[in-house]
Amino acid sequence: MQVHGFPPISDARSRVLILGSMPGKASLCAGQYYAHRQNSFWRIMGALCQFDPAAPYEVRTRCLLDAGIAVWDVMQSCSRESSLDSDIQEASIVVNRFEAFFHRHPKIGFICFNGSKAEQSYWRYVLPEVPVAESLETQRLPSTSPAHASLCYAEKLAAWQVILLTHAQGNVRQLE
C-alpha cells in the first residue's frame, strides 16, 4: 500500500529538525504526527518543552514551534503494509524536498533522527542530493515508537534531552 506523509511542522524560528521516517497507520488516520497513543514522542516533547502532552494537537505543535523545533519525515511517500519501518519497500521511497526546506529554514543547524530508519534514509537519499545537509549537525535518538521497546521511557527521555541541551546552549549552527 502506498502511503503519503505530512507537510512539516515548521516556521522561520525553527533551529532543530526532528526527522522520522514515515507516519504510521494511526498517525495517517488521525492526520497528525505521532498519533499512536503508545508512541512516547508527545510525552517526551511535553516534558522537554514543558507543555501538556494531552493538549490539543494544535497547542502541542505551537509549543514545539515556540521552542524552535520543527518536525518532518525523510519520506514523502513509500509502500508498506504495516506501520513498521522494516516493511518499507526501499524501491518505493520518494524523499521529501529537503533542499527547498533548508532554503526556507536557514536557522536549522541540528537534525535529530527519531530512530535508525530515519537516519539511514537521510544518509542514503538526502545527503547525496542536498549539499547544504553536510554542514548540519546530526544525531540519532532512540525511536519513540512503541515497537522500540528495548528502552524504557526514562531512558528515551534522557537521550532526547540533547535537543534542549544543544538548543538552549546556542550550539545550533546556522546555515550561511
Ordered by start, the domain boundaries in the chain are 2-168
Predicted local confidence at residue 57, as pLDDT:
98
Average pLDDT over residues 48-56: 96
CATH number of 2-168: 3.40.470.10
Predicted local confidence at residue 104, as pLDDT:
95
Q: Which contiguous run of DSSP H or E holds residue 102?
A: helix 98-104
Distance from the Cα of residue 37 to its chain's centroid: 17
Using the predicted structure, report yes or no on whether residue 105 has a pLDDT greater than 90.
Answer: yes
Q: Tell me which residues are annotated as active site.
A: 39
Confidence of residue 148 (pLDDT cuts 50, 70, 90): low
Task: State pTM to two decimals.
Answer: 0.89
Lowest-pLDDT range of 1-5, 35-39, 119-123 = 1-5
In 5-161, alpha helices (H):
25-30, 41-49, 57-66, 98-104, 116-121, 153-160
Give backbone dihedrals phi and psi of 85, rounded to 5 degrees, phi first. Answer: -60, -30
Q: What is the largest CA-CA distance in the chain?
A: 43
